[in-house]
Amino acid sequence: MALATPIAPENEGALARAIAEAYEAGVPLAIRGNGTKESLGRPVQAAAVLTTRALTGITLHSPSELVVAARAGTPVAEIEASLATKGQHLIAEPPDLSALTGPGEGPQTIGGVIACNLSGPRRIALGAMRDHVLGVRAVNGMGEVIRSGGRVLKNVTGLDLAKLVAGSRGTLAVMSEITLKVLPKPERTATVMLRGLDAARGIAALSAGLGSPFGVTGAAHLPAEAASRAGLGERTATLLRLEDFADFIPRRTQALAAALGEFGPAEILDEGPSLPLWRSVRDAVPLGVGDGEAVWRASLRPSRGAAFAEAVSRAFPARFLFDWGGGLVWVVGPATEPAHRSVTEAVRSAQGTFWLVRAPPALRAAVPGLPEEPAPLAALTRRVKHAFDPKGILNPGRIFAGV
Amino acid sequence: MIALPTPDPSVLARREAIVADLTRLVGAANVIAEPARLKPYETDGFTAYKRVPLAVCLPDSTEGVAAVLRYCTRNGIRVVPRAAGTSLSGGALPLEDAVVIGVARLNRILEVSVEDRLIRVEAGVTNIGVTRAVEGEGFFYAPDPSSQLACMIAGNIAMNSGGAHCLKYGVTANNLLGVTLVTPDGEIVELGGGHLDTPGYDWLGLICGSEGQLGIVTEATLRILRAAEGARAMLVGFRATDVAAAAVADIIGSGIIPVALEFMDKPCIRACEDFAHAGYPLEAEALLIIEVEGNEAEQDALLARLETICRRHDPLTVRIARTAEESAAIWKGRKGAFGAIGRISPDYLCMDGTIPPARLPEAMRRIEALSRQYGLMVANVFHAGDGNLHPLILFDANDNESFARAEALGADILRLCVELGGCLTGEHGVGIEKRDLMREQFSPADLAQQARVKRAFDPGWLLNPHKVFPPEFAQAA
Ligand SMILES: Cc1cc2nc3c(=O)[nH]c(=O)nc-3n(C[C@H](O)[C@H](O)[C@H](O)COP(=O)(O)OP(=O)(O)OC[C@H]3O[C@@H](n4cnc5c(N)ncnc54)[C@H](O)[C@@H]3O)c2cc1C
């Protein structure tokens, strides 16, 4: 990592100028907000660091139009607090992964969360962070300001570069401002909890719940160790969340519990315990990650989640947390190449994908942090990268080595 | 009229050889070349423009699509992808020197998984065909364009189509898990799959809504959802458009997101009532149809809350359905709206701009003024919660001057949408219709960036050319 003082433009014009200068000089830049997501990709070899942390402030919130806009360096917490004053929230409940990744240099920014397309438990019901991106303003690798999308809820005008830039981890363009769809915060939250199911049965229960008409907005399974860390005692916990108007919740929790009768008696957690519990699932805290450990985030069909976990367990002593109805499997294990190969292999046979989100820099530099793309797709990745950043100066090598 | 290119004479001269090659690649049964059989392909839902293509290929496998696309790319022949041909922006309009590649024969359901809440289909399956395949299990496919009986998943993906229920359930992009894409060089790539979220570039997000500019989609994996316990509608008539718009803002601001929130203005109310006799209030200047979901008690509670909100706006009529039949009666007029307008005037242009909902009163006032200025009637029916307007401009197709005025009025309405902070198209796509208006919404740098992404997929600019991009940006690498 470069040691010089980071470049921290205070407005979009300055951001564009900084990148245009780097483009002229052919100087690679490491792109970051407050650096909380350093471990979510390959280490970047760059001559300078460009940070969006000085590009801050909410620029629009229109509650009756369900939109909020903020500059890329605005802390997520600030946006959430501001939305809450009007009874609204970020739909995909982006996680705060500092329990896995360390604290960074400041609070996580909205730009960082969008650039990594990170979503929490509600993703299973209401879409990912990228689904709620209505528009972005960004600067490409030539220092040009580009806009895609806008501030309206429905927009199919032109190629959807906003979605492409979201999730591209700073390798295509540096976002300066983002407009998001938001929703009213539900009045009440409750959890239907089943105990003692193994992963396969737990995921079957989550599937049954998500296939019910009661509006489940969170579906997670905690193995015994994770349940214990979440303060639920030493037994597996299968959790289904309902969020709705307060007067609907009692009937819905009862109906859901009854529909899941074959999985055993259900315990109902009301809002008090539910909110912190889902926050800790969101942030993957129950994984209890320690020194020298790596974390992978596997995404696969829910029905393959349990077999995937078994396959990984045969290779090394792993710990797990299942979210998204079993389709998101957090895996903790030793930060070694053999462990990484086992995860890669198990994901391949489950026909899913993975993301190495925590490991020491040496391992992140040595192994692909996500499945390697087949040749025709890898060629498209290179060509699209070139279309935004012809000299390869934005976060080179961050996602794929050499791109 | 929008300028279409003169066909490349060297390609036209090779027509017979090209047809022979296509026949060799996918078999005579899957190639159409006789003029009489090409005629039905000369246009799409945007019928003002017509061009008979060089030939039509309807491959019955992904490999067949790949073989034809590779052949066309290598030989510098333009290609227009086609699904059901219901595009309202001329997205599937052929060109005389282009081969149309259609997916109509790729129409098999490949897999239904209720436990993983997904369905895998070939891209020529109709939109309604997807819901029919899963409704027996109590599930449905959420994006429900009004054209759902005819339009196909490939077209829905290419246009990122929406429907009346997308305020709650999202548009195609939000319900798409994976696609099989054939790139212009004939490579077959799998994007996404049965899982959520891939940590590389968001290919699905880019392909969705790309209007056949980047490749041809042959298969798709879609999310299916469990249907709600029940749904019921209410209808409210207001004294003025502004008042109805204020009620919409109050509803959304109250924390209730109805599953549908549809708006009609007076000309549209009258047309629908004459046609469907749904009991719509003819004295109202604007009408809202609001639908909520839940069990009986929840529906009652939500409808009562909505009634309280609407009553604050001094409505002329409030009609709350008590049964499914009464809901259907409320929807009857709305569902027949396009047909009803078609009875007044067989020819109309359907605009599709979006505005920030807070600007609705101003937009309606200015559209009315434009309608008077051009001397053409405009009826409005649209998705109010998300500001996606559908002004219908009535004109006479036998009168070229009337059509020219309709096009000019449409362009002014779309410019107005952009000026108010909105966009040219909420769900119908740019196609040929709005190609030249793209300069109103985007800067040259924005369009040049989009064009570079297009060229990353299609360096020869052969795939669905002359659409989406203004001519000065549409250049091969
Ligand atoms: C009466 C009526 C009502 C409508 N209502 C709605 C509505 O409520 N909501 C809405 O969003 N739209 C609506 N539409 C517009 C239209 O139905 C949609 O745009 C639809 O998705 C088009 O599907 P299609 O199968 O007809 O595609 P086509 O018209 O055949 O093609 C549409 C576009 O997709 C491209 N394409 C086709 N196949 C492929 C492929 N395999 N790979 C890549 N690109 C491809 C074509 O080149 C073209 O650009 C309506 C249209 C009509 C006529």
CATH of the domain at B236: 3.30.70.2190
Q: Does one domain contain both A100 and A205?
A: no
**Maximum alpha-carbon separation in chain B:** 71
Give the amino acid at A144. Answer: E
Residue A22, both tokens: 């780097």
Burial A107-128 (b: 16+ CB within 10 A, else e): bbbbbbbbbbbbbbbbbbbbbb
Mean pLDDT value across residues B307-318:
97
Q: CB-based contact (8 Å) between A381 and chain B? A: yes
My answer on whether B221 and B119 are in the same domain is yes
Query: Cβ-count burial of B323 within 10 angstroms (0-12 exposed, 13-18 middle, 19+ buried)?
Result: exposed
Write down which residue in B226, B252, B275 finishes a domain: B226
- % helix / strand / coil in chain A, to the nearest 5? 35, 25, 40
- In sequence order, which residues have a C-beta less than 8 Å from that of residue A350 and are 6 or more positions away? A298, A300, A301, A304, A307, A308, A311
Residue B37 lies in a domain: yes
- Report the CATH number that the domain containing residue A151 is assigned in CATH: 3.30.465.10
CA–CA separation, A212 and A194 (whole Å): 16
- For residue B164, give the ligand 1 atom closest to its CA: 8
How many angstroms separate the Cα of B118 from the Cα of each of A204, A207, A302, A307, B220?
A: 15, 12, 11, 19, 10
Chain B residues in contact with A64 (beta carbon < 8 A): 249-250, 252-253, 357-358
A136, A162 Cβ separation under 8 angstroms: yes
Separate counts of helices (H) and strands (E) for chain A: 14, 16
Q: Are residues A245 and B388, on separate chains, in Cβ contact within 8 Å?
A: no
Asked if the structure places residue A379 within a domain, the reply is no
Statement to judge: residues A168 and A264 lie in one domain:
no
Residue B276: inside a domain, yes or no? yes
In angstroms, rounded to a whole number, what is the distance separating the alpha carbons of residues B301 and B402?
49
Domain presence at residue A317: yes
Closest by alpha carbon to A305, among A223, A232, A235, A374?
A: A223
Same structural domain for residues A84 and A196?
no
Are residues A192 and A175 located together in one domain of the fold? Answer: no
Domain that holds residue B15: 9-104
Whether A36 and A19 map to the same domain: the answer is yes
Ligand 1 probe mutation, B86, B152, B166, B167, most atoms within 8 A of CB: B86
Please answer yes or no on whether B202 and A130 come within 8 Å at the CB atom.
yes
How many angstroms from the chain centroid is the CA of residue A148?
22
Q: Say yes or no to pLDDT of A4 above 80.
A: no
| Whether A238 and A330 share a structural domain | no
Q: Which residue has the tokens 């809901």?
A: B327
- Whether B317 is in a domain gets the answer yes
A132 with A39, same domain?
Answer: yes
A16 within domain boundaries: yes
The reported pLDDT for the residue numbered B342 is 84
| pLDDT given for residue B308 in this prediction | 97
Asked, for residue A385, whether it belongs to a domain, the answer is no
Mean per-residue pLDDT of chain B: 96
Considering its fold, how many domains does chain B have in total?
4
A33 and A162 within one domain: yes
Q: Which of A29, A67, A75, A35 lies closest to A174 in space, CA to CA?
A: A29
Q: Is the C-alpha dihedral spanning B170, B174, B176, B177 positive or negative?
A: negative
Per the domain annotation, does B451 fall within a domain?
A: no
Residue A154 contacts B, CB cutoff 8 Å: yes
A393 located within any domain? no
Using CB atoms, which residue from B205, B429, B454 is nearest to A163?
Answer: B205
- Preferred mutation among B114, B115, B256 to probe A, highest tally of A CBs within 10 A: B115
Looking at the fold, whether B371 and B265 belong to one and the same domain comes out as: no
Looking at CA atoms only, how far is residue A345 from chain B in angstroms? 17
Which residue is closest in CA terms to ligand 1's atom 2? B147
Taking only the tens place, the pLDDT of each residue in B328-368 is 999 998 888 888 888 888 789 999 999 999 999 999 999 99
Alpha-carbon dihedral angle through residues A109, A113, A115, A119, given to the nearest 10 degrees: -170
Q: What are phi and psi of A151, to 5 degrees?
A: -120, 15
In chain A, the residue whose alpha carbon lies closest to the alpha carbon of B156 is A156
pTM of structure: 0.98
Smallest CA–CA separation between B447 and chain A, in Å? Answer: 8
The closest of A119, A139, A115, A94 to A38, measured between CA atoms, is A115
Asked if the structure places residue B44 within a domain, the reply is: yes
Annotate chain B with three-state secondary structure. CCCCCCCCHHHHHCHHHHHHHHHHHHCHHHEECCHHHHHHHCCCCCCCCCCCCCEEECCCCHHHHHHHHHHHHHCCCEEEEECCCCCCCCCCCCCCCEEEEECCCCCCEEEEECCCCEEEEECCCEHHHHHHHHHHHCEECCCCCCCCCCCEHHHHHHHCCCCCCHHHHCCHHHHEEEEEEECCCCCEEEEECCCCCCCCCCHHHHHCCCCCCCCEEEEEEEECEECCCCEEEEEEEECCHHHHHHHHHHHHHCCCCCCEEEEEEHHHHHHHHHHHCCCCCCCCCEEEEEEEECCHHHHHHHHHHHHHHHHCCCCCEEEECCCHHHHHHHHHHHHCHHHHHHHHCCEEEECCCECCHHHHHHHHHHHHHHHHHHCCCEEEEEECCCCECCEEEEECCCCHHHHHHHHHHHHHHHHHHHHCCCECCCCCCCCCCCHHHHHHHCCHHHHHHHHHHHHHHCCCCCECCCCCCCHHHCCCC
Mean pLDDT calculated for residue range A361-369: 97
Strands B55-57 and B31-32, by their bridges, are antiparallel
Q: Is A187 an 8 Å CB contact of chain B?
A: yes
| pLDDT score for A225 | 97
CATH code, domain carrying B218 = 3.30.465.10
Same domain? For A212 and A100 the reply is no
- What does the pLDDT look like over B363-405, one tens digit per residue? 999 999 999 999 999 999 988 989 999 999 999 988 989 999 9
Distance B360 CA to ligand 1 centre (A): 27
CA dihedral in degrees (A267, A270, A273, A276; nearest 10)?
Answer: 120
CATH number where B363 lies: 3.30.70.2740
Is B467 part of any domain? no
> Domain holding A341: CATH number?
3.30.70.2030
Indicate whether B426 belongs to any domain: no
B156/B207 same-domain check? yes
Residue at a domain's end among B226, B252, B285: B226
> Which residue puts its alpha carbon closest to atom 8 of ligand 1?
B145
**Is residue B275 domain-shared with residue B375, that is, in the same domain?**
no
What SS3 class is residue A231? coil
Are A50 and A30 a contacting pair, CB within 8 Å?
yes
**A274 and A314 housed in the same domain:** no
- CA distances to A343, A372, B93, B355 from A368, rounded to whole Å, are 12, 7, 43, 43
Instruction: Decide if A155 touches B, using CB distance below 8 A.
Output: yes
Is the Cβ–Cβ distance between B181 and B206 less than 8 Å?
no
Q: Are residues A75 and A193 in the same domain?
A: no
pLDDT at site A2: 42
The answer to whether residues B298 and B382 belong to one domain is no
Query: What separation in angstroms does the CA of A212 have from each of A242, A266, B5?
Result: 12, 16, 53
Q: Are residue B13 and residue B92 in the same domain, yes or no?
A: yes
In terms of phi and psi (left: phi > 0; alpha: psi -120 to 50; beta: otherwise), the region of B26 is alpha
Does the distance separating the beta carbons of A207 and B116 come in below 8 Å?
yes
Nearest CA in chain B to A355: B199
Which residue out of B161, B172, B347 has the highest number of ligand 1 atoms within 8 Å of its CB and is therefore the one to mutate? B161
In this structure, the answer to whether residues B113 and B222 fall within a common structural domain is yes
B48: number of Cβ within 10 Å: 18
- In this structure, are B271 and B201 located in the same domain? no
B398 and B300 belong to one structural domain:
no
Q: Which domain, by its residues, includes A120? A: 1-185
A236 domain-assigned = yes
Q: In what order do the strands lie in the sheet with A353-358?
A: A266-269, A188-195, A237-244, A216-222, A319-323, A328-334, A293-299, A353-358
A389 is a domain residue: no
Question: Of A29-43, A198-212, B183-197, B325-339, where does mean pLDDT reach its minimum?
Answer: B325-339
At residue A57, the 3 state secondary structure works out as coil
Domain ends where: A282, A303, A322? A282
Average pLDDT, chain A: 97
Euclidean distance between CA atoms B452 and B436, whole angstroms = 18
Q: Which residue lies with its CA nearest to atom 13 of ligand 1? A: B145
Nearest CB to B159 within list A124, A156, A325: A156
The verdict on the CB of residue B214 being under 6 Å from ligand 1 is no
User: Mean pLDDT, to the nearest integer, of A247-268?
Assistant: 98
Q: What percent of chain A has pLDDT over 70?
A: 99
Which residues in chain B are contacts of A376 at CB distance < 8 A? 183, 187-189
Tally A–B CB contacts below 8 A. Answer: 256
Q: What is the CATH number of the domain that holds B66?
A: 3.30.43.10
Query: Ligand 1: distance of its center to the CA of A345 in Å?
Result: 40
Q: For residue B434, is it within any domain?
A: no
Q: Is the CB of B333 under 6 A from ligand 1?
A: no
B458 lines ligand 1 (CB under 6 A): no
Spatial distance between the Cα atoms of A4 and B173, rounded to a whole number of angstroms: 42
The answer to the question of residue A178 being in a domain is yes
pLDDT of amino acid A3: 54
CA distances to A131, B99, B237, B426 from A33, in Å: 21, 48, 50, 32
Q: Read off the CATH number of the domain in which A263 is found.
A: 3.30.70.2190
How far is ligand 1, taken at its centre, from the CA of residue B148, in Å? 10
Return the closest-CA partner of residue B463 out of B152, B161, B70.
B70
Q: Are A151 and B421 inside 8 Å of each other by CB?
A: yes
Same domain, A135 and A273: no
Do residues A301 and B194 make contact, with C-beta atoms less than 8 angstroms apart? yes
pLDDT computed for residue A1 by the predictor: 45
Please tell me the total count of domains within chain A: 3
Q: Does position A243 have pLDDT exceeding 60, yes or no?
A: yes
Q: Which residues share a beta bridge with B378?
A: B393
- What is the distance between the alpha carbons of residues B138 and A212, in angstroms, rounded to a whole number? 9
Q: Max CA-CA distance within chain A?
A: 66
Q: What is the pLDDT of residues A201-231, one digit of tens each?
A: 999 999 999 999 999 999 999 999 999 999 9
- Please state, in angstroms and rounded to a whole number, the distance separating the CA atoms of residues B217 and B304: 45
The predicted pLDDT at position A329 comes to 98
